[in-house]
Amino acid sequence: MTSIRSSRLRGLAAGALLSVAALTATTASHANDLLVAPTRVVLDGNRGTEVILNNIGTEEADYRISLELRRMLPDGSLAEVETPNAAEQAALDMIRYAPRRVTLPPNQPQAIRIGARVPPELADGEYRVHMLFRAVPRPTPVTAETDDSAEGFSIRLIPIYGVTIPIIVRNGDLQVTAAISNPRIVRQDGRESLSFTLSRNGDRSTYGEIVVTKPGVDIPVVRARGIAAYAEIGERTVTLPVSEEYQGSLAGPVRIQYRAPESEGGGLIAELSATLQ
């Protein structure tokens, strides 16, 4: 693996010398890679928990852990928030965590402690932040590849990549119901996919697994875990690709089930039987 990569780098260096205007490829070293577990945290009152961050790259890396706000859009994506509303600000204020910066050698895990300090006067509801884990790129030494040449120019695109996971605090006795409607067959990225509306009613989010089955077929034709409808929206669209072996065979009667995760009892949240055209 290493020898292949280094020979490829030598090839790149040779190519850069020959070309007039070389747009440099950055080195493909595995710095800044990361592993995070778990991928979702629900805090129970003031009891804290921990999230594991591990450096799975091949070089030492500096990681930064920060709190972000996201709002779910009707298509299910999570948009960044520029001006927090009162509930979002309250969520930011109550989450405590440490450390916020950590330098890790390869394969060194670090536990990030997370807790919530819930103010006694806090209104009932669900409060949520998204914890961002990412590595901060270190300045790279100037090499022959990045030298300016009189005749050309070079381009360096530096990715800063990471993971966000929701941190959820529930205050009070919260209720939610959900329903599935308007199922239809769509094409997404050239694949047959199932799209439907997931509506939500109540003062908290829903979270669980979508399983779509056809009568007489043992294996679900569509299956996706980790589907949420957050409290800030009343309904969202869910679009999921049909598994490879059942591409083109979605039409006909189907049963769509939305189930809570096993860790929360696995109960049925919503269900719809329909015939797809």
Specify whether the CB–CB gap between 231 and 189 falls below 8 A. Answer: no
Instruction: Give me the least distance between CB of 159 and another protein, in Å please.
Output: 6
Instruction: Give me the least distance between CB of 61 and another protein, in Å please.
Output: 12
Q: Is 48 in the site for another protein (CB under 8 A)?
A: no
Specify whether the CB–CB gap between 48 and 29 falls below 8 A. Answer: no
Q: How many CB atoms lie within 10 A of CB 24?
A: 19
Instruction: Give me the least distance between CB of 153 and another protein, in Å please.
Output: 5
User: Which 89-128 positions form the footprint of another protein (CB under 8 A)?
Assistant: 107, 109, 111
Instruction: Give me the least distance between CB of 76 and another protein, in Å please.
Output: 7
Binding mask 150-189 for another protein (x = CB under 8 A): xxxxxxxxxxxxxxxxx---------------------xx
* List 71, 241, 255, 271, residue binding another protein (CB under 8 A): 241
| Amino acid (1-letter code) at residue 85 | N
Q: Residue 61 or residue 90: which is nearer to another protein going by CB?
A: 61
DSSP state of 16: H
d(CA 122, CA 89): 12
Q: How many CB atoms lie within 10 A of CB 176?
A: 16
Q: Residue 87 or residue 108: which is nearer to another protein going by CB?
A: 108
Binding mask 199-238 for another protein (x = CB under 8 A): --------x---------------xxxxxx-x--------
User: Which 245-274 positions form the footprint of another protein (CB under 8 A)?
Assistant: none
| Amino acid (1-letter code) at residue 216 | G
* List 9, 13, 48, 54, residue binding another protein (CB under 8 A): 54
Specify whether the CB–CB gap between 112 and 132 falls below 8 A. Answer: no
User: Which 57-96 positions form the footprint of another protein (CB under 8 A)?
Assistant: 57, 70, 72, 76-80
d(CA 39, CA 109): 15
- Strand 235-241 versus strand 206-213 pairing type: unpaired
The H or E element spanning position 180 is strand 176-188
Instruction: Give me the least distance between CB of 175 and another protein, in Å please.
Output: 20
Instruction: Give me the least distance between CB of 132 and another protein, in Å please.
Output: 7
Specify which residues 116 forms β-bridges with: 95
